[in-house]
Amino acid sequence: MFYRIAFVSVVLATLTSLKCFSQTDTKTRIWGEWKTWGDQGNGTYVNPVLPGDYSDIDCIRVGNDYYAVSSTFQYSPGFIILHSKDLVNWKILGHVVNDISTISPEMNWDRMNRYGRGVWAGAIRYHNNKFWVYFGDPDMGYFMSSASRAEGPWEPLHQVMAEKGWDDCCPFWDDDGQGYFIGTNFADGYKIHLFKMTADGKTLIRESDKVIYRSKGSEANKLYKINGTYYHFFSEVRDGGRAIMMERSQNIWGPYEGPRKLSHVQREFNEPNQGGIIQSAKGDWYFLTHHGSGGDWSGRIVSLLPVFWMEGWPIIGKPGPDKIGQMVWSGKNPANTGKILTPQTDDDFKSSMLSPQWEWNYQPRREKWSLTERLGWLRLHAFKPLENDNLLKAGNTLTQRSYRTVSNEAVIRLDISNMLDGQRAGLAHFSTPEYSAIGVTCKGNSKTLEVTFKSKITKGPLITGNNLWLKSIWGLDGRSQYFYSLDGKIYTPLGEPCELMWGDYRGDRLAIYNYNNNADKGSVDIDYVRYKYSK
């Protein structure tokens, strides 16, 4: 009898979901070999809905709008925000953290030693007519900010807890307005703690602390209240991988029933496991999730899975005879707006601000880049890296996500007339600890084209003109071929195909780099970036 009310209250949602499920594609697929993705233009969608690295995704609905956040680690600006009208078509809205050195000075351009740290998994919520975000840094603790509009401006970052060893947090406000906070202390055996918060959401009431769960690798926390029942969502390590789990209670402090496995591990599909459960404006339920196992060059990409309520539990994906969910590859679009959107990539640098897809590797040196010194161009002034000829230690490297689609082509046009001795500049596929790049090296008055991959350098021709076009093409296999052009029309390949890489919890990124091993001198101008990927 304890959960009969909750069960009855979701019967209609279950029937609606089953109707939606009848139109889903559950055929066996091979990971990474999709020919299409996202909105199909006919009222259906195909997973993934975002074939790029949007790790630790979380999502909410406010009216008819959906907002998602994703971890960004050491990249700046940090904690990316996306917007959608249907959970399938997404655009980049902006970021929460403009200066990630406020998390730690170690994330500034003059230190750059926090790869894989910074903005870890967090959550977005809407309460009291404001958006609230919370996230953690494994060394520095938990942080939060709020804003009246998701695109900002966001309030200055506030540190909620200054303590090492915590991750994967989420706020929750109950019907009476009381705020709560849940997070994992991975340094203490992955204990999941629940706290009350002060009314402003900026302080944890430490004496309220209660451990509500602990298991191997238990994290990815979310708290929900659905039809009067509290649901604690998390993932843990089971059966050789990450499984989606949940426990529930009639009291937020417990005791909690469960845990219940909501979806199988599915390593063959890179373990969909971390994300947000959400009810659409039409009343259907979904789970927006990343595919979370590491090692994939494309990073932790995003799928939208149906949710089916069974006995008061939200089963994720196709329920099997064991009432545990499996991967679903396609379904009916939750809203079918008729407008296909994809995340931004191109930039002609005519705006006074960088387009929102761009994120610097670490906090940039502000006086060393400009959109105004030469209108319509991005100017990058070169300065010495922390280690010579090491792109991982070179400040002001500008990046954006690359995508795993059938065909990808990225082109940048550079003016190299102001390059000076010791300077290197070009286009890269950026990862850690390995990366590849095509660019110009300036020695004395000579400028030479070269491709670098895993410490191997392939020399190209001397460049005597001022204009240079650099291009990379790749496909589903994650192998990039570099090209160059002196007129923007005829392109010549240089070097062997380079493997795109995973590292420090991130997939491959496109990057524009510029540094000088000898001195803080020289510059390059970038006219445009054009990155096209197939739908």
Residues 54, 58, 61, CA angle at the centre, nearest 5°? 125
Distances in Å between the Cα of 377 and the Cα atoms of 183, 380, 415, 529 are 44, 10, 9, 10
Burial of 95 (0-12, 13-18, 19+ CB in 10 A): buried
With tokens 């980049």, the residue in question is 92
Pick the closest to residue 204 from 149, 166, 251 (CA basis): 166
Instruction: Give catalytic residues, as residue numbers.
Output: 56, 219
| Contact indicator for 408, 535 with CB cutoff of 8 Å | no
| Contact indicator for 139, 56 with CB cutoff of 8 Å | no
With tokens 């596929």, the residue in question is 429
Separation between Cα atoms, residue 336 and residue 315, nearest integer Å = 24
**How many other C-beta atoms can be found within 10 angstroms of the C-beta atom of residue 92?**
20
Pick the closest to residue 59 from 334, 266, 294 (CA basis): 334
Pick the closest to residue 206 from 150, 255, 166 (CA basis): 166
Residue 296 backbone phi and psi in degrees, to 5: -85, 125
Q: How many residues in the chain?
A: 535
Query: Cα 386 vs. chain centroid, distance in angstroms?
Result: 27
Pick the closest to residue 305 from 269, 341, 343 (CA basis): 269
Burial of 261 (0-12, 13-18, 19+ CB in 10 A): buried
Q: Which two tokens stand for residue 226?
A: 């659905």
Beta-strand runs (E) in 215-271: 219-226, 229-238, 241-249, 257-263
Pick the closest to residue 169 from 231, 123, 125 (CA basis): 123
The count of C-alpha atoms lying within 13 angstroms of the C-alpha of 472, restricted to the half-sphere facing its C-beta, is 29
Separation between Cα atoms, residue 9 and residue 315, nearest integer Å = 16
Pick the closest to residue 437 from 520, 361, 509, 365 (CA basis): 509
Separation between Cα atoms, residue 152 and residue 97, nearest integer Å = 10
Nearest-10 Cα torsion for 473, 476, 477, 482: 0
One-letter amino acid at 346 equals D
Residues 321, 331, 531, CA angle at the centre, nearest 5°? 130
Q: Which two tokens stand for residue 316?
A: 């994720």
